[in-house]
Amino acid sequence: MTSAPLAAVTGAEGFIGSHLTESLVARGYRVRAMAQYNSFSSYGWLETLAPDVLDQVEIVLGDVRDPGSVRGLLEGADCAYHLAALIAIPYSYRAPHSYVDTNVTGTLNVLEAVRALGTPRLVHTSTSETYGTARTVPITEDHPINTQSPYAASKAGGDRLADSYHASFETPVVTLRPFNTFGPRQSMRAVIPTVIGQVAAGERVITLGDLRPTRDFSYVKDTAAAFLAVGTAPAERVVGRTFNSGTGTEISVGDLVALIAKVMDVPIEVREDTERLRPAASEVMRLVADASRLTAATGWEPGHSLEQGLAHTVEFFRDPANLARYKTGIYNV
């Protein structure tokens, strides 16, 4: 009898990581899931997964900034998915050193562990923020990198290390560069949960930053499917390459709020808050993906429209047990 393959996941307790963990189990994997060490022994969103999923998940508290911790996570794994990161742009203005420690040094630790252990496949997570405001649309993987925030710079640093490890040591790494992702379990630092969460809590006047930037929003199950696509495709199609994932459609923040109001069937009034405005040269004004390279290599395509994804997200936030996990009354940085 052959046992199920083992996938190691960093950032597994987070938003995308918890959905990826579910998707991996559904595909027949056992998952060794890193949740960041904390004194509350909190496993984040992993605590909310169904018992039959958790049966296949070994949760390990650790930290990607610690090489031994990462190596222990990857020991014996058939593949690794590196999602752990500090992700908030506003907080990266305040605490940039921690972004370099986590997103650059943390990625280096993962690459070193893969190299030392001979892990057959690593999926490294980038972000569309590394492109900065689109110079040409839709954005292909050949678009210049233009890091407009310490967050974007730290993610691009991790990406460059991943590329260099493939070039120098033939490390079997593939980089997935998701555009904006949304859905159940996302923290209220992102615009969609901020709006839906506050409206679900009874607010009708929502405070936001700039309403003009456009983004390409993918439903989280589609992003998880993109991770699996590059994690399981034949090596010659994906290893050593970078792949965008996104829908190819863009919407401004202002139009998005109007769409959420329609999906939730409530009027929403928006107030602009200068505290939430980013320095002008740091705000990424336009992002829209060309994901044709990913589709050509793996057959991946998005499976949910924006409206469908929003409807699932609204359903999640309208459940009082879910809403109780959020602080809807504060600006979550």
Ligand X SMILES: NC(=O)c1ccc[n+]([C@@H]2O[C@H](COP(=O)([O-])OP(=O)(O)OC[C@H]3O[C@@H](n4cnc5c(N)ncnc54)[C@H](O)[C@@H]3O)[C@@H](O)[C@H]2O)c1
Task: List contacts with ligand X (CB under 6 A).
Answer: 10-11, 13-17, 34, 36, 44, 63-65, 83-87, 102, 106, 125, 127, 155, 178, 180-181, 187
The tokens for 287 are 């992002």
Nearer to ligand X, 187 or 292 (CB): 187
Please report, for residues 47, 49, 153, 221, the alpha-carbon distance to residue 25 in angstroms, rounded to integers and kept in the order given.
Answer: 15, 11, 33, 14
CB of 130 to ligand X, least distance (A): 9
Nearer to ligand X, 178 or 197 (CB): 178
Nearer to ligand X, 4 or 259 (CB): 259
Residue of this chain nearest to ligand X (CB atom): 14
CB 331 within 8 A of CB 281: no
Q: Which long-range contacts (CB under 8 A, 24 or more apart) does 278-282 make?
A: 278/89, 278/90, 278/149, 278/209, 278/210, 281/148, 282/89, 282/93, 282/148, 282/149
CB of 68 to ligand X, least distance (A): 13
CB of 3 to ligand X, least distance (A): 27
CB of 250 to ligand X, least distance (A): 14
Phi then psi dihedrals of residue 10, to 5 deg: -95, 150
- Give the span between the Cα atoms of 114 and 120, in whole angstroms: 8
Nearer to ligand X, 86 or 174 (CB): 86
Name the 3-class secondary structure at 190. coil
Nearer to ligand X, 83 or 257 (CB): 83
Nearer to ligand X, 165 or 217 (CB): 217
CB of 101 to ligand X, least distance (A): 7
CB of 40 to ligand X, least distance (A): 12
Nearer to ligand X, 166 or 215 (CB): 215
CB of 1 to ligand X, least distance (A): 34
Residue-by-residue DSSP string for 47-113 = GGS-HHHHTTEEEEEE-TTSHHHHHHHHTT-SEEEE------HHHHHH-HHHHIIIIIIHHHHHHHH
* Residue 319 DSSP symbol: S
